[in-house]
């Protein structure tokens, strides 16, 4: 009895560790034959994409899965800068779609990749809560100290674009917060915690009416190019290329422009 218990004491943690490791590996339920591991890996493509691509890429992912039965597209959405660091540190990415060439460069400098190709461009807008409590209607209004403004941190692409646009306009804005990605910035507007924020035009459309977008002329001086690349070390090389092709195809461009992106 005692021996059996002690054996369990070892077996349980070991089993847990094995289960955990296999869970991290392919994400597929373990199949019977040992030779399927390569095939299983090829049936899955890991796409790391900027937070601002969340809606469009999710849709394209579904399109891709329908066109390639048995394939799963897995997304990791977040700040491009964070994703770039994760890839450099060895995260298993097959495709990387960044919100700026600078973050893409971090990745392509560290590991070989094919591409990068610019697939869309995005423009900033002023986002204000639906009722626009601070009566913001142009970029200059953000300099009023009574207006609470959220910007993206300068380290992430939407923040870099905001700095460029404000510089082009010759304005100095003191934000109350520097958020870690564009979605977090938008949330602060949606909740009404800030009176205005600079986010991408696409995010305003994606918020489905929860925030109001205001165009401003200086946004043209801070347009972000979005590059996409397939990583050469990608375990699912062919699928990765096919996914990137879908994004660059007319069908992909239609989905993206409908969401407010501009074609390059």
Partner 1 sequence: MSSSNDPDTSGAGAAAGRGVAGRPPWMLVLPAVAGLAFLVLPLAGLLVRAPWSTLLQRLAEPQVLEALRLSLLCATAATAVCVLLGVPLAWLLARVEFPGRRVARALVTVPLVLPPVVGGVALLLVLGRRGLAGQWLESAFGITLPFTTAGVVVAEAFVAMPFLVISVEGALRGADRRFEEAAATLGASRWTVFRRVTLPLVMPGVVAGAVLCWARALGEFGATITFAGNFPGTTRTMPLAVYLALETEPEAAVVLSLVLLTVSVVILACLRDRWVNSP
In the complex, the smallest distance separating the C-beta of residue 16 from partner 1, rounded to whole angstroms, is: 11
Nearer of residues 82 and 122 to partner 1, judged by Cβ: 82
Among 175, 227, 252, 260, which residue interacts with partner 1 (rule: CB under 8 A)? 175
Q: Which one, 76 or 257, has the nearer CB to partner 1?
A: 76
Candidates 132, 163, 164, 192: give the one binding partner 1 (CB under 8 A): 192
Give the Cβ contact number of residue 32 at 10 Å. 5
Instruction: Print the binding letters for residues 5-34 with partner 1: x by CB under 8 A, - otherwise.
Output: -xx-xx--x---------------------
Instruction: Using CB under 8 A, pick the residue from 128, 153, 166, 234 that binds partner 1.
Output: 153
Task: Say how far apart CA 234 and CA 43 lie, in whole Å.
Answer: 12
Q: Give me the sheet containing 113-122, strands edge to edge.
A: 72-78, 44-50, 95-97, 224-231, 113-122
- Contact with partner 1 (CB under 8 A) among 63, 72, 117, 177: 177
Residues numbered 84-143 forming contacts with partner 1, rule: CB under 8 A? 85
Between 39 and 176, name the residue whose CB sits nearer to partner 1: 176
Q: Kindly write out the interface string for residues 132-151 of this chain, putting x where it contacts partner 1 by CB under 8 A and - elsewhere.
A: ----------------x-x-
Nearest to 173 by CA among 206, 120, 136, 202: 136
Choose the binding region for partner 1 from 80-88, 137-145, 206-214, 241-249 (rule: CB under 8 A).
80-88
Residues interacting with partner 1, by CB under 8 A?
Answer: 6-7, 9-10, 13, 79, 81-82, 85, 148, 150, 153, 155-156, 175-180, 188, 191-194
């Amino acid at each position: 009895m005692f021996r059996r218990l002690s054996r369990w004491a070892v077996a349980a943690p070991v089993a847990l560790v094995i289960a955990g490791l296999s869970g991290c590996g392919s994400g597929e339920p373990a199949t019977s034959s040992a030779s399927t591991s390569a095939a299983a890996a090829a049936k899955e493509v890991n796409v790391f994409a900027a937070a601002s691509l969340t809606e469009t890429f999710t849709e394209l992912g579904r399109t891709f899965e329908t066109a390639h039965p048995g394939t799963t597209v897995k997304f990791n959405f977040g700040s491009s800068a964070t994703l770039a660091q994760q890839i450099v540190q060895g995260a298993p990415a097959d495709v990387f779609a960044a919100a700026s060439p600078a973050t893409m460069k971090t990745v392509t400098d560290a590991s070989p990749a094919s591409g990068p190709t610019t697939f869309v461009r995005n423009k900033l807008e002023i986002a204000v809560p639906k009722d626009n409590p601070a009566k913001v209607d142009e970029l200059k209004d953000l300099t009023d100290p009574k207006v609470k403004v959220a910007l993206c941190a300068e380290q992430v692409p939407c923040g870099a674009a905001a700095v460029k646009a404000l510089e082009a306009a010759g304005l100095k804005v003191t934000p109350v917060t520097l958020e870690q990605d564009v979605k977090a910035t938008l949330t602060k507007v949606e909740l009404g915690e800030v009176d205005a924020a600079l986010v991408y035009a696409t995010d305003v459309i994606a918020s489905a009416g929860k925030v109001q977008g205001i165009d401003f002329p200086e946004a043209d001086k801070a347009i972000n190019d979005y590059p996409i690349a397939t990583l050469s070390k990608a375990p699912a090389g062919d699928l990765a290329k096919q996914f990137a092709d879908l994004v660059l195809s007319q069908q992909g461009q239609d989905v993206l422009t409908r969401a407010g992106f501009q074609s390059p």
